[in-house]
Amino acid sequence: MAFSTQRYNALIEEIRPIQYPSLLKTTYLDHAGTTIYAKSVIDAYHQDLTSNLYGNPHSESPASWLATKRVEDARLAVLEYFNANPDDFDVVFTANATAAIKVVSDCFRDQGFWYGYHKDCHNSVVGVREVATAGSQCFTSSAEVEEWIEQGPSSSSQGLKLFAYPAQSNMTGYRPPYHWCRQVRGGDKNSQQSTFVLLDAASYLTSGRLDLSNADHAPDFVAMSFYKIFGYPDLGALLVKRTARSVLAQRKYFAGGTVDMVTVIGGAFHAFKRSNLHDFLEDGTVPFHNIVALRHAISFHSRLFGSGNNISKHTAYLSKLVYDELSQLRHANGQSVIEVYKDPQATYGDPATQGPIIAFSVKHPDGNILGRSHFEELAIECGLQLRTGGVCNPGGIGSMLQLKNWEMRRNFEEGARCGDGFDTIGAKPTGIIRVSLGPMSTQGDVRRFAAFVKMFFVDKGAQSSPSSPPASTSISAVEGCPVFPVRPSEQAAYQVWDRRWCVIEERSGTPVKELEHLKAEIDVHTEELILSHLERRLALSLWDVPEAPDKRLSTPVKRIYDIYDNPAVNTWLSEQLGCQCVLAHYRPQDPALSPEATTCAVSWCAQERADKDDLRDHYKSHAQAFMDAHPFTTTGPVVRKNAGRSRSVRFIDLFKRTRTRPSMRTSIALAEKQMLTPPSQVTLSSDFANLHFQKVSQITVTSVEQVR
């Protein structure tokens, strides 16, 4: 029988109130950030810690030996989870996926290497390029990677090489081909391997499961964060192929726990531990208490959700529902409401190419982009939790939002930062809205989110949404200078530089308003501000602007400028203009004071409010209407009749009730016995291979061994 999404969803809804009570009063849509931990994991972990004593694994006490055993048990459990043979792989515990990536980076850095990475890589993977002494290359598409593989990785560099890519983009959910791992290494013509593959699996493992049973086809290094798989613990790991031992063994730094001998007096000597890869890669004491929790997390995750294939199918179905719902939304004028950012090679509903992530922007009827901060603010008030911004994926942001390198650099100079209020600059969004689903997501979550978008952001024609003023066709980089020509398609991009600089007369301290003989142009290709007067020319970097002594920003009423302290620039200006003057740069406008920042984003409202706080209160009134119409989908667990009453109390109560009615004793005792019997397993029929659910919250864990 085929996989039944409806039956699977019904079982998820059944266990959610018991296992995930934190979801009772929220709609959680940020599983790519972290998924949710099950109550049973925390209960079992609590029981474990209060029943056992764990010591530092570097000691020899019984408590230390127990901790060591638990760590090694967890190491094997991780390998088993990924069908990885211990003869082929080792597990190195780290703080998170980023720390796992850094372990590889540090080992390669000590030898010098060339680095290639896919554009969809997370910042943590991109950062490795800074220590690649033999150069680096960003592959801007999967087609570029395929071409590079066909040419042979040896064409990039003759020495040590590392290629990294994500198993799933944390921005769009695109899943590049897994077979690259084998193909990249297949390009090595030398007998000794010189090209290695690092797979960032952090985002992928929330809804997918790697099968590493075929070591020849597997990556050399797999980075992961367990909180993205199980919700808890906050722990990471690096899975390492043992064939990569030679390149890792060249590591120079050593720490406590990684060496067998160190001398410091009379000479410098050290000897690394060499029994296992993790022996010389796990610096210091491993977080053994978190590793104890990991064993419980793996055990209960399998009990709750069964095979990884079922999770993958379930989340793929839900993400396609979201994609279909958003894609078909239209304003009254026929314009699409949502622009989904999707890789052309990905297909929603196909777990091989697309994960359960939807990245998008909301558009006004005139095509302008709605500020994502408005969307998130209203979503929070309505009990929806999602992610907005650049999501630490610069390649995805640049390619999907069609932001050129100079535009992203311009955005930074304008004040755009992680978590700021700059929604759009130059008529383009600076980030996206992201919805991501996980194993415990349900169709109810999807329906509630779709209802939220339909209620607030689809224009029905009753009132037109506000539109941004058209970009000026007259761009003058320096205030008072003649305008310079800009192609119509680039006017919005250049708009932030309109009258961005000024010339200050030193005597009066005021800007010079008439500079008809001084020309100022911007060249985005060379990233320069070019000043010219008659036959003389001066070029300045667009990004080398005066540093502001404080954090104040310009306002619509008052513009704040900072003076260049470069003597060469100011001397040149003074000589050309025939007076003592200096060049100054106006600070960016405060985005919180723009009209868009205080205008309600609800399509049929669009009220202008006094300030951001007033707007937030206004959104609460909209949210209340939504909450009344669309309550949370997960209801509280059904309380059993004798919940919280001990067996002895129930026996005494039974005895009292049956003393006066002996004839009822047998039937009542039978009923009580049935009530005390542990609940049966909630299972699916044989058409769901390996899938079963247990009401594990009602299992009493008396020892660690019971959940092994």
Residues forming the active site: 392
Amino acid letter, residue 222: V
Q: How far is CA 545 from CA 481, 483, 529, 586, 587, in A?
A: 19, 21, 11, 10, 10
Instruction: Name the residue among 446, 581, 589 with its Cα closest to residue 511.
Output: 581
DSSP 234-253: --EEEEEEGGGHHHHTT---
The CA distance from 239 to 224, in Å, is 8
- Rounded (10°) CA dihedral 279, 282, 286, 291: -80
Give ∠ CA 409-415-421 in degrees, rounded to 5.
120
Instruction: Name the residue among 230, 105, 119, 208 with its Cα closest to residue 162.
Output: 105
Q: Is the Cβ–Cβ distance between 240 and 93 less than 8 Å?
A: no
Question: Quick one: three-class SS letters along 360-371?
Answer: EEEECCCCCECC
Q: Is the Cβ–Cβ distance between 473 and 491 less than 8 Å?
A: yes
Q: What is the DSSP letter of 188?
A: -
Q: Is 66 helix (H, G, I), strand (E, B) or coil?
A: helix
Q: Classify each residue of 636-664 as buried b or exposed e, where b means 16 or more C-beta atoms within 10 Å of its C-beta.
A: ebeeeeeeeeeeeeeeeeeeeebeeeeee
The CA distance from 318 to 310, in Å, is 12
Q: Is the Cβ–Cβ distance between 553 and 422 less than 8 Å?
A: no
